Every structure is written in structure tokens, then in C-alpha cells.
């Protein structure tokens, strides 16, 4: 019985520590800004602190390909009437975007519109089954709730990932383990880094200037399935280009379509009945467009969502002019010139899609 009491007390102490430290927002104040959790928290915290609310506010979500820079969009506010913000975070997915939006906009009333990017309007299959992306847990652990356990963990196809997700939501410390160990090893440096990030990250991000390199000099022979690159391109980069443009497309298993229907549908449902519109855009796909594009899918997630009154689908080929080597720094990311063109074009298009903002600037 003594052993049982000791074990029970130890377990209770562990659970209490996990709840007090990791299930509160206390640990997020010192989480490493370089971790996936800390990186996402930086975007969410900065947006929560940004002044602005109402029908004239437009928010962009997305991953690293959503190269939308609000500084340059907001220079057009006298023309568009809208103020722009972004929580686009490298490595995130539509599942992440849903929980991110819930965290920064709990009443679903902060924005006139939310801009959501997709790769195509046909739910083309990709190599990764995003439903099984366990990395989402590490990005989102700071915003997930115990009540999310069933839906979030249940959305993983892999039984192992379901179990690991459930364990992580129940015991956040399991997800924070490596970060917490690093904090114990370097407590002063970590606290200073976190404080600097809280103080200056919004300014860093707003003033960021991206790479100027281009994909000019790269050429593809689609018939021969060969790719030629300039001398300064490394073998690793050439391999990435070759995979992106010449590797066989994954067989259509329906995974991507089911995933997008669920999570884009969740985002739309969140704003149904509010005055926030969901704008879906096809982002510039790359410097070269493969001839073997996914077949037209009349029942795709985007085309089904287009029938909803709170969803606006931007014309599919609106950004085709940006799909050129001079606007891309690699096989899938816009360079600085491309980002500026994309940002300004999208800001003006939002005005065209939404019309003028409410006269009083609020809902």
C-alpha cells in the first residue's frame, strides 16, 4: 500500500504540474520562438495585439507559399478601404488554419474577410496525406483544448498518430518535452530570446524583405522529361526541382479531397451567419506549370463551397501571370518581386470581390 500511495502521489504531482505549467498559457511565454509551437504563437500573439476590428479588416491565412506582405497591402488602404493582416505560417495546413482562426477570432466577428489559399480548385492528390501530419500537433499544442481531443485526434488516419495526438492533448508536456529540456539547460538565454521576440517580432515581420533570386536559367523539356539548370544550382536544389516538376503525380486516392472538404468546410462553417466572408484563391503554383494538371473535379471542395453565401471563390486563373521564372525564388515560393506583385494584386482584388467596406468600418 505504501508503494501504491507513493506511485499515486507521484502521478498526481505529474498531472498537476502538467496542468499548471503546460495547459495554461504560462509556458507559451517562454517557449522557444524557433520551435514550431513558438513560431505559430508569435503570429497569433502579434495579431491579437494588433489594433483593428470590423468590416474593413481582412486577414490572410496560409503556409510559406502565401507570400502576402501586409506592409505593402496597407499602403493601398486609401485606394482599397481595407486594412490587411496575416497569420500565414510556414509549415501549417488547413487543419491548423481552422484552429488558428478560432484562437484569434473567438467570436467570429473580427474580420470583414478571411483569405484562404489552395493549390488548385480540383483537389489534386499530393504525395502526403495531410490528415496524418503529426506536426500539426506540435504547431497547435498551445491552442488545442481538451474538448478538441476527439475531433483533432480522430482526424488522423493512422491509429498510432491518433494515440499520440490524444496523449499530447491530454498531457501537453509530452509535446513540449524537448523544448522544456532546452529551457532547463539554457534558462536565461531562453527567457531573453522569448522577451526579445515578444517585443520586436511584429516589427521584424512587417518590415521583412525577401530573397531576390529567380528561377531564370532553369528550363524543362516536358517531352524528354529533362531539366537543365544554371551552374550555380546545387545538386540538392536540382533534385528538388526535378521532383516538383517531373516526378509522377500521386494516384488519386481521394485523401486530399476528403481532407479539404472537411477542414475548408470547417472554416466556412465557423463564419456562416456572420458578416465575415471567406475568400478562396488559387495561389501562383510555380515558375513552370506541369502539363499533367489534375483533371477538372466538379465535386471538389472549392467548387462545392462556392455555393455557400459566405464564400467567394476568386477566378481560378487570376494569378496566372505570376507563374513565371522571374517571379519565383525556387520551385514553389515567390521571390521578393513576385511577392510584391502578388500582395498588391490581391489587395486590389479583395476590394473588387468585397466592394467598399462598411461606411462605419464595423460589423
DSSP string for 288-310: S--SSPPPP-TT-HHHHHTTSTT
- Per-residue confidence (pLDDT) for residue 362, from 0 to 100: 45
- The counts of H helices and E strands in the chain are 14, 7
Rounded distance, CA 234 to CA 11, Å? 52
Query: What is the rounded CA–CA span in Å between residue 195 and residue 32?
Result: 10
Determine the Cα–Cα distance for residues 25 and 10; give it in Å rounded to an integer. Answer: 24
Place of cell 521532383: 243
DSSP 250: P
Distance (Å, rounded) from C-alpha 359 to C-alpha 363?
Answer: 10
User: What is the Cα–Cα distance from 216 to 325, expressed in whole angstroms?
Assistant: 5
Question: What pLDDT is attached to residue 363?
Answer: 40
Instruction: List per-residue pLDDT tens for the chain, 363 residues long.
Output: 665 565 555 555 545 656 667 777 789 999 999 999 999 999 999 999 997 766 799 999 999 999 999 999 999 999 999 999 999 999 999 999 999 999 999 999 999 999 999 999 999 999 999 999 999 999 999 999 999 999 999 999 999 999 999 999 999 989 999 999 999 999 999 999 999 999 999 999 988 888 999 999 999 999 999 999 999 999 999 999 999 999 999 999 999 999 999 999 999 999 999 999 999 999 999 999 999 999 999 999 999 999 999 999 999 999 999 999 999 999 999 999 999 999 999 999 999 999 998 865 444
Q: State the Cα–Cα distance between residues 333 and 62, nearest whole angstrom.
A: 13
- Which residues lie across from 115 on neighbouring strands? 60, 279
pLDDT of residue 255: 95
Amino acid at each position: 500500500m505504501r508503494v501504491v500511495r507513493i506511485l499515486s502521489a507521484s502521478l498526481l504531482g505529474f498531472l498537476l504540474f502538467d496542468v499548471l505549467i503546460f495547459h495554461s498559457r504560462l509556458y507559451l511565454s517562454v517557449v522557444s520562438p524557433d520551435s514550431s509551437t513558438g513560431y505559430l504563437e508569435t503570429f497569433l500573439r502579434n495579431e491579437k495585439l494588433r489594433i483593428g476590428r470590423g468590416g474593413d479588416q481582412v486577414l490572410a491565412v496560409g503556409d510559406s507559399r502565401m507570400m502576402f506582405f501586409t506592409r505593402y497591402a496597407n499602403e493601398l488602404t486609401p485606394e482599397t478601404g481595407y486594412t490587411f493582416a496575416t497569420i500565414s505560417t510556414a509549415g501549417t495546413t488547413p487543419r491548423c488554419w481552422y484552429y488558428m482562426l478560432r484562437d484569434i477570432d473567438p467570436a467570429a466577428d473580427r474580420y470583414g474577410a478571411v483569405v484562404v489559399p489552395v493549390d488548385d480548385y480540383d483537389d489534386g492528390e499530393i504525395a502526403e496525406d495531410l490528415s496524418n501530419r503529426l506536426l500539426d500537433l506540435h504547431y497547435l499544442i498551445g491552442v488545442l483544448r481538451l474538448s478538441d481531443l476527439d475531433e483533432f485526434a480522430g482526424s488522423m488516419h493512422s491509429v498510432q498518430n491518433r494515440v499520440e495526438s490524444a496523449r499530447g492533448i491530454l498531457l501537453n508536456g509530452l509535446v513540449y518535452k524537448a523544448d522544456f529540456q532546452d529551457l532547463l539547460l539554457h534558462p536565461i538565454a531562453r527567457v531573453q530570446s522569448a522577451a526579445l521576440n515578444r517585443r520586436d517580432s511584429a516589427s521584424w515581420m512587417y518590415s521583412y524583405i525577401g530573397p531576390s533570386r529567380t528561377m531564370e536559367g532553369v528550363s524543362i523539356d516536358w517531352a524528354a522529361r529533362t531539366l537543365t539548370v544554371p551552374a550555380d544550382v546545387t545538386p540538392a536544389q536540382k533534385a528538388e526541382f526535378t521532383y516538383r516538376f517531373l516526378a509522377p503525380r500521386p494516384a488519386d486516392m481521394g485523401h486530399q479531397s476528403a481532407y479539404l472538404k472537411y477542414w475548408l468546410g470547417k472554416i466556412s462553417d465557423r463564419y456562416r451567419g456572420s458578416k465575415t466572408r471567406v475568400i478562396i484563391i488559387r495561389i501562383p503554383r510555380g515558375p513552370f506549370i506541369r502539363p499533367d494538371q489534375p483533371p477538372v473535379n466538379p465535386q471538389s471542395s472549392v467548387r462545392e463551397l462556392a455555393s455557400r453565401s459566405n464564400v467567394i471563390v476568386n477566378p481560378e486563373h487570376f494569378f496566372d501571370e505570376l507563374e513565371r521564372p522571374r517571379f519565383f525564388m525556387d520551385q514553389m515560393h515567390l521571390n521578393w518581386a513576385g511577392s510584391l506583385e502578388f500582395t498588391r494584386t490581391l489587395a486590389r482584388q479583395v476590394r473588387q470581390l468585397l466592394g467598399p467596406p462598411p461606411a462605419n468600418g464595423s460589423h
